[in-house]
Amino acid sequence: MRIVFSKLVGNTSNFPLQYRFFHVIALIGFFMSFSASIINYLLDLGIFTVIIPFVCGIISIYLYYLSMYKKKYTLSVYLALIMLTFIFFPTMWLINGGSFGSIPYYLIVYSAFIAVLLKGFKRVLAIILFLGTIMALFIFEYKFPWFVHGYDSILSRYLDVFFGFIIAVIFNAVTMAAVINGYNMEHERVILYLSEVEKQRKEIEQKNYLLEKNNEELKEAKQKTEQLNLKLREISVIDSLTGTYNRRYLLKCLNSLRKTAEKYGQTFSVILLDIDHFKAINDTFGHVAGDKVLKKVCRTIKNNIRETDIFGRLGGEEFMVILPETHKEQAFVVAERIRQDISNITWAGQDMKITVSGGVYQYNNEKLIELLKKVDNFLYQAKNSGRNRIESDIS
């Protein structure tokens, strides 16, 4: 039944609610007109009371077709209202008993039609015109009662009024039912739409939550990766025991500084230090004590150099200090101060004296391997000269 009704008045996807109401009203108007025509014929109320409703029924079908299939809703509504307000009802009033006949019942149904089909100012205007027409009919009937065609008998009047009342009640109920059903259908659509919107909103919120969670996880993973890379970088350039730069990083810095100095005519100096008799320290006091010696020697060296200087462990007990923009005389002073401070270190609980030997050399446009060889030669010269001393080519 619902499918048939939907086909007759139009489905919700193609026709707005107000359009579908008009289709219902047009169909009701068709049945009302034909039923009135038949009743008037059976009551023998005159040929005009039969023809006029019949013609109105034909017009109702045409207006239904015009709106339903030609999609000319507004034109159909205006034609229907003009025809009913100014032609059909005034004519039927005059030829079918006036205020004593069945037409007043149809007028009540028609007022509901106006309320449903129009809105806003147009609705108010249509009702005012309709009320004006009714008022004019009452006045005209009061002033010129002989122009209103009456009934041939009381029985005809009662039967016409009775059937008019029944038809008005039925079609008024049908109209209101159509309105309520249409409203309920729209309400169901709205609820379904809101349900879908809410469902989509929750899905979007869930996706946003997952995206935020993924972003947080990615951010956390990125931070961990950066930390890991930093740690790997530290591992790749830092000596694990002393916490100073390792051989690989020292040679990289030395080569980079050599290229810069060569390009811009700058200079730098290198200090090479080696702990004297370190193997004997390990053999006598153990490797734990040897590690402590390495760490304390590193701290002493750090305390005697600038922040711009580069210091690290070449390997074993050998250390290097790179002093940018420093001449050999200045570097020699630094190396000698380091040597003295290390020799003055006291070792609580252990009877040992730690000294270092060192070599100082100023860069003189050599290649890296030649530079290392020359500063290493000064270190060996200090070792061979009795240790605990610094050697250089200072004249």
Sign (positive or negative) of CA dihedral 178, 181, 184, 190: negative
- For residue 184, the tally of other CB atoms under 10 A from its CB is 10
Q: Which two tokens stand for residue 340?
A: 């003295």
DSSP class of 245: B
DSSP string, 59-79: HHHHHHHHHHTT--HHHHHHH
Of 216, 317, 318, 325, the active-site residue reads 317
Distance of CA 234 to the CA centre of its chain: 40
Give the CA-trace dihedral at 247, 249, 252, 254, to 10 degrees. Answer: -70
| Distant-in-sequence, close-in-space partners of 284: CB < 8 Å, separation ≥ 6 | 352
Q: Does 317 participate in catalysis according to the annotation?
A: yes
> CA 147 to CA 95: how far, in whole Å?
8
Quick one: residue 248, left, alpha or beta (phi over 0 = left, psi -120 to 50 = alpha)? alpha
Q: Tell me the HSE value of 222 on the side-chain side, using a 13 A CA sphere.
A: 6
Provide the edge-to-edge strand list for the sheet that holds 268-275.
310-315, 318-324, 268-275, 356-362, 390-391
| Distant-in-sequence, close-in-space partners of 367: CB < 8 Å, separation ≥ 6 | none
> CA 356 to CA 382: how far, in whole Å?
9
> CA 232 to CA 343: how far, in whole Å?
35
> CA 80 to CA 64: how far, in whole Å?
10
> CA 321 to CA 356: how far, in whole Å?
14
DSSP string, 87-104: IIHHHHHHHTTGGGSSHH
Question: Annotated catalytic sites, by residue?
Answer: 317
